[in-house]
Structure 1
């Protein structure tokens, strides 16, 4: 299958390499060099399209691909404004059943274990992720990246997998507030955000930051019958109930999630059955999550500023 990958940054290159490893024929296209006209011209030779550009320029690309009947793999988040989420939902409808949104954490064995667990007794949850953004990659500057943009940038969008994870585990969550920390050099960009959520008697937070010196990624679920304390970074997963505590063995090689997701996309694009994962991020099935992310971004309330130097 010939797959056009639009966006030649690190994630676009990863997708292109994984597509080749899975037997597809990728064409990696630089958005900065090609622009919309070049991307549309390249679609004429494609059977599917991967969109790995900055969030704020995706709508015309999605519309152009969908108009040609080309299935789409769209990097997360879908969009940062609630209005654009609805526009994409409308224009992508003809191919949504064969398209996917890049929520690769849905392929994580620990999230799948939580999705299969009995969480009916839960009353509280907390999902957290963070790492010093200046240490992410060699020869990379935050100030020159998409993440530094006031429109479509910031940590809430960049690390929104945890918000999608909450939406997977607890459908129907209601957003009750978002507190964010900004930076004087980057107006409108959140460097740490805490999203408060609830569903009936269940309350929880999703937090993300660009600041902590070491990577942290954890899920803490509290219930009257059992507790789940999952450390995704350390791959240490503990469940505690009346019988005591036990560790779950859920090994993972990170790129396996990307490969599994792309394998499912190729199957959908070719009209074949994908894997049987109940968390399959098919585009027509993830709109509630995409809406929650955009709604949270729009609801940010900046309550302070950080002083860390960000190059």
Structure 2
């Protein structure tokens, strides 16, 4: 259950269709309902529909619902993302919020990237909606330039869904899973902080303690005009560790996601930490993202989007796919 507390509904009458009724689809349905939207859920597999009070659509009623939707959330398997997003746009939906990643590869995303309504697509990026991230992004000047940074997300895949064998999950499949796709949020927020990357090197690890065919770990090195960045993503580490360390001539900034804290260390090692406890509640973060997706357009001024905790644009989502494809080709 959420610790969010009362949320003032502010989008009464907005029609939202959630395509897909897995755990993430159910969460989208819940938080958009909290905002006052009129939410319907269209499962891919009816047996997966456990959505509370939302209206349940089927293959007969779903297409018509898309045409009148202000927002369609695509929360299906990665291999279906492009097809389901294009279907929503072609039906006449106002906008689409697409779960990450956009597609398994950049080439697989061509039909959406080239669609005449591509500018109406958001790509889910909830780390952008964390208060701590928005705080961090306004304080990069404190460390000076140029900077070096290390982005990390260490986790243990069997702990992600304890009630399900991890080997049966999409994460384990080489065509849909692997850390580059699952943990693409780290690549997304790094681009917000440091700019578009030029990849210098990558190592993907397909062997390890997990019995899966997808990559279990990835280490990337890239540079931008502002920074040199290393990134480590893995499914094979306990305890969980997630965040970024940024170092420059005037000090350091550290974001620790599990504790929702940002620490500034000045040039003489004096440390000041700020906590953002609201970030520890996932529904709070998702409400921030959902509100921005309803209120703003993807072509809104970037500064306004970042301040609001909005999702990524389709162009930004495609850029992370490009980086992932480059990493696979170099490993």
Alignment equivalent of 1:141, drawn from 128, 152, 165: 165
Q: 1:162 to 1:36 in 2, by over 3 A?
A: farther
Matched residue, 1:219: 244
Matched residue, 1:175: 199
Would the aligned equivalents of 2:288 and 2:310 in 1 still touch at CA under 8 Å?
Answer: no
Alignment equivalent of 1:287, drawn from 315, 323, 327: 315
Q: 1:21 to 1:35 in 2, by over 3 A?
A: closer
The separation in 1 between residues aligned to 2:83 and 2:261, in whole angstroms, is 42
Shift of 1:251: 2.7
Would the aligned equivalents of 1:80 and 1:294 in 2 still touch at CA under 8 Å?
Answer: no
The TM-score, its normalising length taken from structure 1, stands at 0.85
Matched residue, 2:32: 19
Alignment equivalent of 2:186, drawn from 162, 186, 192: 162
Would the aligned equivalents of 2:204 and 2:217 in 1 still touch at CA under 8 Å?
Answer: yes
Structure 1 unaligned residues grouped into runs of 5+: 304-311
Alignment equivalent of 2:130, drawn from 87, 93, 108: 108
The separation in 2 between residues aligned to 1:227 and 1:288, in whole angstroms, is 27
Shift of 1:262: 0.7
Shift of 1:32: 3.0
Matched residue, 2:107: 83
Would the aligned equivalents of 2:262 and 2:274 in 1 still touch at CA under 8 Å?
Answer: yes
Matched residue, 2:90: 67
The separation in 1 between residues aligned to 2:272 and 2:232, in whole angstroms, is 26
The separation in 1 between residues aligned to 2:303 and 2:58, in whole angstroms, is 34
Q: 1:40 to 1:145 in 2, by over 3 A?
A: farther
Could you report, residue by residue, the CA deviation over 1:22-67 in whole angstroms, capped at 9, with x for unpaired residues? 1112112221349988753542453321000111111111111111
Structure 2 unaligned residues grouped into runs of 5+: 1-13, 47-56
The separation in 2 between residues aligned to 1:236 and 1:287, in whole angstroms, is 30
Q: 1:144 to 1:35 in 2, by over 3 A?
A: farther
Shift of 1:200: 4.4
Root-mean-square deviation (Å): 2.9
Would the aligned equivalents of 1:96 and 1:282 in 2 still touch at CA under 8 Å?
Answer: no
Would the aligned equivalents of 1:85 and 1:291 in 2 still touch at CA under 8 Å?
Answer: no
The TM-score, its normalising length taken from structure 2, stands at 0.80
The separation in 1 between residues aligned to 2:302 and 2:150, in whole angstroms, is 31
Q: 1:130 to 1:242 in 2, by over 3 A?
A: closer
The separation in 1 between residues aligned to 2:233 and 2:134, in whole angstroms, is 21
Count residues in correspondence.
298
Matched residue, 1:197: 222
